Amino acid sequence: MRGKEKLFKHIKARYKIIISCVLIALIAVSGYLMMAGASASSNTSSAASSSSESSATSNNSSSKESKTVDWTKSSETKAYPDLDKYPKAWLDVNIEKQRVYIRDGADHNKILYTMYCSTGKNNSTPRGTYHIQAERGTHFYNASEKEGANYYVSWKNHGEYLFHTVPVDANGNYKKSVADNIGKKASSHGCVQLTIPDAKWVYENVPEGMKVVVH
């Protein structure tokens, strides 16, 4: 009997050890699976977030590139500067950015107003420092180029290089296909094209002799 009792106790002890080992193994496996699942979820979330950010960046970039300026409106919603208050104002034509900046020469060339523009194709807009000339008017048409514009102001060669609106055809209709390039790329024959209100303001307000820098 004693031998049987000892054997029974020995077997029972072995079973306890085996059961304990199995439980420990199950707990370890369960913990590993939980950690792996959390890591996978985190990676998926991170990838989705990264993809979303990349997509948003791409969309924003695409949106900026494809944005068409409304050339029937002024470039900014704020009022144009009162040039009587800025006697040293001058016009900064930036070909690379396709912008015309009205700057205050008396205040560290502070930008007073920014206008969208379109300069000459194939670098046909001459770079340098010039001054507004006497020639200006409400309309012109160049038959040889089959193109004209409204509200023009000369800044070089007395009528050859001008600030003016986006172009018009022989009937005085604005050429939308060209006008839609304003603020984005050069599309003129050398003049500086502006939105209609911007050109009208320049025609009515910019005085003869004002400095113009093209670069």
Q: What pLDDT shows up at residue 58?
A: 42
The domain locations on the chain are: 1-67, 83-214
What span, in angstroms and rounded, lies between the C-alpha atoms of 60 and 53? 10
The answer to whether the CB of 184 falls within 8 A of the CB of 57 is: no
Q: What pLDDT shows up at residue 68?
A: 84
Q: Where are the beta strands (DSSP E) in the chain?
A: 89-94, 99-104, 110-118, 128-131, 136-142, 147-156, 161-165, 192-194, 211-214
Identify the CATH number of the domain defined by range 83-214.
2.40.440.10
Q: Which residue in the list 21, 108, 131, 164 is annotated as catalytic?
A: 164
What is the number of alpha carbons within 13 Å of residue 44 lying toward its C-beta?
Answer: 6
Q: What pLDDT shows up at residue 172?
A: 96
Give, in order, the Cα–Cα distances in Å from 9 to each of 6, 13, 16, 22, 50. Answer: 5, 6, 11, 20, 61
pLDDT tens digits for the chain (215 residues)? 555 565 556 566 666 666 666 566 666 656 666 665 555 555 544 444 444 444 444 444 443 445 789 999 999 999 999 999 999 999 999 999 999 999 999 999 999 999 999 999 999 999 999 999 999 999 999 999 899 999 999 999 999 999 999 999 999 999 999 999 999 999 999 999 999 999 999 999 999 999 999 99
Say which amino acid occupies 119. Answer: T
Q: What pLDDT shows up at residue 64?
A: 43
Q: What pLDDT shows up at residue 51?
A: 45
What span, in angstroms and rounded, lies between the C-alpha atoms of 48 and 155? 54
What span, in angstroms and rounded, lies between the C-alpha atoms of 54 and 47? 10
pTM: 0.70
Active site residue 164: yes
Q: What pLDDT shows up at residue 187?
A: 96
